[in-house]
Amino acid sequence: MKQTVLITGAAGLIGGYLVRTAPRWVPDRDVRGVTRNEVDLTDGPEVQRLWDRHRPDLVIHCAALSRTGLCEQNPAQARRINVEATRLLADLARDVPFIFLSTDQVFDGAKGRYVETDAVHPLNVYAQTKAEAEQIVLANPAHVVVRIALTAGTSPTRDRSFVEDMVRTAAKKMTMTLFTDEFRCPISAGALVRALWEFAVQPRGGLYHLGGRERLSRWEIGELLAGRYPELRPWIHPGLVADYHGPPRPPDLSMRSDKIQALLSFPLPGFREWLTDESPDGGDLWDYPPTESR
């Protein structure tokens, strides 16, 4: 009998990719994706029924309230979804492998090139709830936290990745200021999910970082994307975090992924590779590289 893998957040960017790529990367597993419309993960009895129905051998918990603005507007809801739902699932999965997807935003960005042993210092509600959920998960030494970087790709609803957000904003003829002094390690969803699947079949616990090989500014990312999506070009402009007036923005969330890289069969790609490499091996199965605007 095939082992059952439960994927939460299956309508999101990473969850959607995990479900769609499962036949390629884990054909010997029975992968079940769950969306918010199917199960309210903040409802204890409903989550128990979900667990009893599937009895999973592995859980990859992708579901989250990840829009920072929505989290700031409703911190109680952010905590229910990002913390309490994680607590429910981690408790039910106490005896099976459990992988929780966290974020590079748990750091304050003062240092950059973060490693797993660096202290967290979240600056917004989203990051705070993720940092709290990390501690719940890591209380079980067999469970895993994977902090993921800024991720590019195509989501089932076409509104979950930052690339989709930028293309949609350009279509509305709205200007985007991209900071030249704000850094990330972007990665394609296809490469990230291939890494997650390879990692998931190696039972182990602990904390890992997973991002692309390149440290790029937001402006560099935008310029690279404009080469593939020319409709972005008139609407992106460089700026400085120092000139930004609004909630705190971590200036450098670049992470080192050496720890997880040592466990993988392929090198984690840089962002430029996603945009220029014509080979689908290791990249997005459906849109690697992106061939048209969506």
Residue by residue, pLDDT tens for the chain (294 residues) are 899 999 999 999 999 999 999 999 999 999 999 999 999 999 999 999 999 999 999 999 999 999 888 999 999 999 999 999 999 999 999 999 999 999 999 999 999 999 999 999 999 999 999 999 999 999 999 999 999 999 988 776 666 688 888 999 999 999 999 999 999 999 999 999 999 999 999 878 999 999 999 999 999 999 999 988 899 999 999 999 888 887 788 999 999 999 999 999 999 999 988 887 644 443 454 343 333 332
Residue at 21 is within a domain: yes
**For position 200, what pLDDT does the model report?**
95
**Is position 288 within any domain?**
no
Would you state the pLDDT for residue 134? 98
Would you say 133 and 82 are in contact if contact means Cβ atoms under 8 Å apart?
A: yes
Is there a domain that residue 262 lies in?
Answer: yes
* pTM (2 d.p.): 0.91
- pLDDT value at residue 157: 66
Residue 285 token pair: 């199965």
Position 291 scores a pLDDT of 33
Asked, for residue 223, whether it belongs to a domain, the answer is: no
What is the structure's pLDDT at 203? 78
pLDDT at 279: 44
Query: Which CATH number does the domain housing residue 101 bear?
Result: 3.40.50.720
Query: Can you tell me the distance from the alpha carbon of 188 to that of 19, in angstroms, rounded to the nearest whole number?
Result: 16
Closest CA relative to residue 207, chosen from 112, 284, 133, 125: 133
| CA 10/CA 6 separation, integer angstroms | 10
Instruction: Mention every residue, 6+ apart, whose C-beta is less than 8 A from residue 56.
Output: 4, 5, 6, 32, 93, 96
What is each CA distance from 96 to 59, 82, 118, 207, 218, in whole angstroms?
8, 20, 27, 17, 38
Residue-by-residue DSSP string for 34-88: E-TTT--TT-HHHHHHHHHHH--SEEEE------HHHHHH-HHHHHIIIIIHHHH
What is the distance between the alpha carbons of residues 91 and 20, in angstroms, rounded to a whole number? Answer: 27
Report CA Rg, the chain: 18
11: Cβ–Cβ under 8 A, 6 or more apart, which residues? Answer: 35, 36, 37, 155, 156, 157
Q: Does residue 249 fall inside a structural domain?
A: no
285 assigned to some structural domain: no
Check if the beta carbon of residue 65 is closer than 8 Å to that of residue 36. Answer: no
DSSP state of 105: G
| DSSP state letter for 110 | S
Q: How many structural domains does the chain have?
A: 1
Q: How far apart are CA 35 and CA 208, in angstroms?
A: 25
- Going by their DSSP bridges, the two strands 98-103 and 151-152 should be labelled as unpaired
Domain containing 47 equals 3-157+185-213+255-276
User: Which among 219, 241, 105 has a CA at the least distance from the CA of 166?
Assistant: 219
Residue 247 confidence (pLDDT):
76
Residue 51 inside a domain? The answer is: yes
What is the identity of the amino acid at 118? D
Is residue 20 in some structural domain? Answer: yes
